[in-house]
């Protein structure tokens, strides 16, 4: 597969961003660079891996549009069929995290390889983020960094949580769901609010959501005890030998009064009962060498014309953070 951006270009972006971060903000302030450094510190600074969602598997397949896609967007990425590259993953900076860890998110990133104007989607199995501002995100991570004894200060974490209760919403959502038994059986959410420009030129605010054709596949605590640390890769491998793994790409539509700016620790009111429009279907047809995904990034800032990007500061920071993370793991 041809990467959307050359590694040289991304490394140049990282170098610029790193220098800009130092020049524009005082040491210790919350910006893309400090967030990446904090993510690495929480994981114990393992070399050569992603700062977040370090463990994963690259895949390939195709996207097929729905006739209804133009009701939301006129983006070439979504109204025409395209090849895709994707990556299933588990959150955290530890590439050896066990697949039986329930506290870690499952992620799914997708590149719609739509010619000269690609769209990259980054989704996870929770509809909210763990912090509403960059400052809060940095504080959340720093309080969890291991001390000289190799362990985080639990008392400090408790105090931080009391002062920042909204940072528990993501974990509470994940805790309330069964342990995922398959990458193919997870609902993946986009926590940010986008705005589509539809076929008639009207603006349609929405969030992305990927819904598995296989339904949600969960394990009981007892079933999880018998699973190997890397069982998700093996399960996916065996599943793909039989049939493609399919997901509907769904637009979850905003309603009047919704916050579009947007506090990403909060869901929209009655979000699970919202009107949705299916943009198309992603079909994963096979495993892809991990180098295809590891030599570049899934860039949240790559959005084809016809969709306006989110306005929240977490999204804005992510656009630079992924390039910085690539630069660090490429050294």
41-59 pLDDT per residue, tens: 999 988 889 999 999 999 9
Mean pLDDT, to the nearest integer, of 247-265?
93
Q: Which pLDDT score, from 0 to 100, does residue 319 have?
A: 83
1 belongs to a structural domain: no
Q: Report the alpha-carbon distance of residue 177 to residue 16 in Å, rounded.
A: 41
The answer to whether position 291 is within a domain reads: yes
Range of the domain at 294: 7-329
Residue 330: the pLDDT is 65
Residue 87 is part of a domain; what is its CATH number? 2.40.180.10
- Domain contains 180: yes
Spatial contact of 244 and 61, defined as CB atoms under 8 Å apart: yes
> At residue 4, what are phi and psi to the nearest 5 degrees?
-70, -30
| Confidence band, pLDDT 50/70/90 cuts, at residue 327 | confident
Predicted confidence at residue 28, as pLDDT, reads 54
pLDDT in tens, 152-162: 999 999 999 99
Q: How confident is the model at residue 2 (pLDDT cuts 50, 70, 90)?
A: very low
- Rounded average pLDDT over 110-133: 96
Q: Which pLDDT score is estimated for 325?
A: 85
**Cα–Cα distance list, 192 to 76, 129, 132, 308 (Å):** 21, 9, 11, 11
Q: Is 250 exposed, middle or buried (0-12, 13-18, 19+ CB in 10 A)?
A: buried
**How far is CA 249 from its chain centroid?**
14
What is the reported pLDDT for 331?
62
The tens digit of pLDDT for each residue in 179-200 reads 999 999 999 999 999 999 999 9
CA distance 9 to 6: 5
Tell me, yes or no, whether 2 lies in a domain.
no
The answer to whether residue 278 sits within a structural domain is yes
Q: Which of 105, 89, 68 is nearest to 206 (CA)?
A: 68
- Res 6 pLDDT > 70: no
Residue reference for tokens 């390889």:
113
Range with lowest mean pLDDT among 16-20, 108-112, 119-123, 253-257: 16-20
Which tokens in the block code for residue 274?
A: 């919202």
- Whether 172 maps to a domain, the answer reads yes
pLDDT digits (tens, 9 = 90+) for 257-277: 998 877 999 999 999 999 999
User: What average pLDDT does range 201-208 have in this prediction?
Assistant: 97
Q: Would you say residue 22 has pLDDT above 70? A: no
Helix-then-strand count for the chain, H and E: 10, 12
**Segment holding 162, helix H or strand E:** helix 154-163
Instruction: Give the phi and the psi of residue 250 in degrees, each rounded to 5.
Output: -115, 140
Using DSSP's 3-state secondary structure scheme, residue 64 falls into strand
Q: Is the pLDDT of residue 1 over 90?
A: no
pLDDT tens digits along 206-243 = 999 999 999 999 999 999 999 999 999 999 999 999 99
Whether the predicted pLDDT of 15 surpasses 50 = no
Tell me how many domains the chain contains.
1
């Amino acid at each position: 597969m041809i990467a959307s951006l050359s590694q040289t270009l991304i490394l140049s972006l990282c170098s610029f961003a790193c220098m800009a971060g130092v020049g524009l903000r005082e040491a210790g302030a919350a910006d893309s660079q400090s967030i990446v450094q904090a993510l690495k510190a929480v994981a114990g600074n393992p070399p050569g891996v992603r700062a977040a969602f370090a463990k994963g598997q690259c895949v390939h397949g195709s996207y097929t549009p729905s006739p209804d896609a133009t009701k939301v967007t006129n983006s070439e990425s979504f109204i025409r069929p395209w090849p895709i590259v994707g990556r299933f993953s588990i959150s955290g900076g530890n590439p050896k995290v066990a697949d039986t860890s329930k506290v870690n998110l499952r992620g799914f990133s997708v590149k719609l390889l739509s010619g000269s104007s690609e769209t990259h989607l980054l989704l996870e199995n929770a509809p909210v983020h763990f912090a509403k501002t960059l400052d809060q995100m940095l504080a959340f991570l720093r309080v969890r960094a291991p001390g000289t004894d190799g362990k985080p200060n639990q008392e400090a974490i408790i105090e931080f949580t009391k002062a920042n209760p909204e940072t528990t919403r993501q974990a509470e959502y994940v805790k309330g769901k069964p342990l995922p038994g398959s990458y193919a059986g997870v609902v993946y959410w986009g926590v940010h609010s986008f705005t589509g420009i539809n076929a008639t030129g009207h603006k349609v605010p929405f969030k992305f959501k990927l819904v598995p054709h296989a339904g949600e596949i969960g394990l009981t605590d007892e079933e999880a005890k018998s699973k190997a640390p890397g069982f998700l890769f093996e399960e996916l491998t065996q599943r793909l030998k039989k049939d493609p793994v399919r997901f509907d790409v769904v637009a979850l539509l905003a309603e009047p009064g919704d916050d579009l700016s947007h506090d990403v620790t909060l869901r929209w009111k009655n979000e699970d009962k919202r009107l949705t429009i299916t943009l198309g279907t992603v079909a994963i047809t096979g495993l892809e060498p991990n180098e295809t995904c590891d030599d570049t990034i899934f860039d949240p800032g790559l959005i084809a014309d016809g969709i306006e990007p989110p306005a929240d500061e977490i999204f804005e920071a992510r656009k630079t953070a992924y390039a910085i993370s690539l630069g660090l793991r490429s050294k």
